[in-house]
Amino acid sequence: MNKIFRRKLYDKMLQWKKERNGSTALLIQGARRVGKSTIAEQFAKNEYESHLIIDFAEASPEVKNLFKDISNLDSLLLELQFRYKTSLKPHKSVVIFDEVQECPLARQAIRKLVKDKRFDYIETGSLISIKKNVKDIRIPSEETRLTLFPLDYEEFKWALGDDATIPLLQNVFNQKQSLGDSLARKLLRDFRLYMLVGGMPQAVDSYLNTSDLSIVDKVKREIIELYADDFRKIDPTGKATRMFYAIPAQLNSNATRYKISSVLKQGKLDRVEELLQDMEDSQVVLMSKHVNDPNAGMSLHEDSNQYKMFLADTGLFITLAFKDKEVTDNVIYQKLLNDKLSADLGYVYENVVAQMLKAAGYNLFYHTWPTESGKHNYEIDFLISHDNKICPIEVKSSGYKAHASLDAFQKKFSNRILNRYLIYTKDLRKDTDITLLPVFMTMFL
């Protein structure tokens, strides 16, 4: 039996239940296999006297047809209780519409069901499928939406039975206190395990059961193929799938943007713009947009023609990057874990920083501009905003003494900057006004 992991979203669900008190349905969206159905069922068991789950991916046509006519809610709700052998209690029960995108009429019925106020309602689904299946229905406004991501680093530590490390690191970060090189190396090795396993619940469960990273790799490959199949469904030409598979190579090329033309023939932006939106909506992919004029309110200055793509889960990213073999063996994983692989892993660290910033609630932005010679570009890997100021972030997998882009950015935009960060693989330090931040502390920004 798969383990049920402690997730931060649970507290937000409790807040919804208390504050909304049945006035809205809760829609949990996210990529496939991140645990939406599991957390919905766990919440129902813990917080209600009874619950009824309709999995529309497996529901019979007869069940789906019940939602064609909802003029008599008494009849509808009674038949559902008989069919699912569950007794619902007014104001003490919840109905879960799992994979609600498979029955658009059930989602449309939410408006009337919520207004009825007898029971609470939770829906789960992937955003891309939900958007594709709403063409002929009225989208309910009576929804509170929450997004479930792969396990973040703290949730991963919880899964390993460690509740202490992250609060201790939070205190260290708040005090800008160095850890000492020996402890920093140990904590970085612990963090690299998270990078390798990733935060997909099945992969974490496999690691806890086997401690065998090659078996974990097989699980991740199955998830990657599932995502690739999903992209083939939304785009039978295979363009979305090819763009998905090319993400590690694109990041490793050190280009200042994702180059469609190097992945697809006739790959111009205007021809794949809808596909890119679909890929972003899948929440399998994270999009970082180029900002032409870095300032607070960065979405006002984003350039839709320049972007980078990351994977929402770095564990999947590593498997995708090494997919040239049928299975990524334990030798490669052990070398990655111990930082002994000769390949430049800067692009892997960039991906995990993107994942952690997104999990912390940031949208992703970056900025590039030509050097004085015009032969190269300066690049700020990520930009976040605080208090009407911006914080430029540079990511490095090794040394820290050279940070030309951060320095050039300071000269250009000094009056807009709150703090400068260089995220890297060593201890917390200060270099003039730059905070040198261990990558495992990214979550505290």
Query: Quick one: pLDDT at residue 132?
Result: 61
304 vs 301: CA distance, rounded Å: 9
For 199, phi then psi, to 5°, come to -115, 15
Is-contact 392 403, C-beta < 8 A? no
Is-contact 92 51, C-beta < 8 A? no
* pLDDT higher than threshold 80 for residue 336: no
Choose among 389, 254, 364: nearest CA to 302.
364
- Find the distance separating the first CA and the last CA of the chain, reported in whole Å: 36
Is-contact 194 153, C-beta < 8 A? yes
346 vs 398: CA distance, rounded Å: 8
Is-contact 147 30, C-beta < 8 A? yes
Calculate the average pLDDT of the chain.
91
Query: Quick one: pLDDT at residue 268?
Result: 61
Name the pLDDT band for 343 (thresholds 50, 70, 90): low
* pLDDT higher than threshold 60 for residue 1: no
Percent of the chain with pLDDT over 70: 93
Average pLDDT for 161-169: 98
258 vs 309: CA distance, rounded Å: 7
For 306, phi then psi, to 5°, come to -130, 125
* pLDDT higher than threshold 80 for residue 339: no
180 vs 199: CA distance, rounded Å: 28
Cross-strand partners of 29: 125, 147
* pLDDT higher than threshold 70 for residue 80: yes
User: 293 versus 387: which is more confidently predicted?
Assistant: 293
Name the pLDDT band for 333 (thresholds 50, 70, 90): confident
> If residue 55 lies in a helix (H) or strand (E), which one and from where to where?
strand 50-55
For 142, phi then psi, to 5°, come to -85, 55
Per residue in 306-330, pLDDT (tens digit) is 999 999 999 999 999 887 766 666 6
Query: Between helices 201-210 and 213-234, what is the axis angle to 10°?
Result: 160
Among 16-20, 31-35, 159-163, 374-378, name the one with the lowest average pLDDT: 374-378
Query: Quick one: pLDDT at residue 340?
Result: 74
For 112, phi then psi, to 5°, come to -75, -35
Query: Quick one: pLDDT at residue 385?
Result: 93
Percent of the chain with pLDDT over 90: 74
Query: Between helices 213-234 and 181-197, what is the axis angle to 10°?
Result: 50
Name the pLDDT band for 45 (thresholds 50, 70, 90): very high
Strand order in the sheet with 377-380: 302-311, 285-291, 364-370, 377-380
User: 139 versus 130: which is more confidently predicted?
Assistant: 139
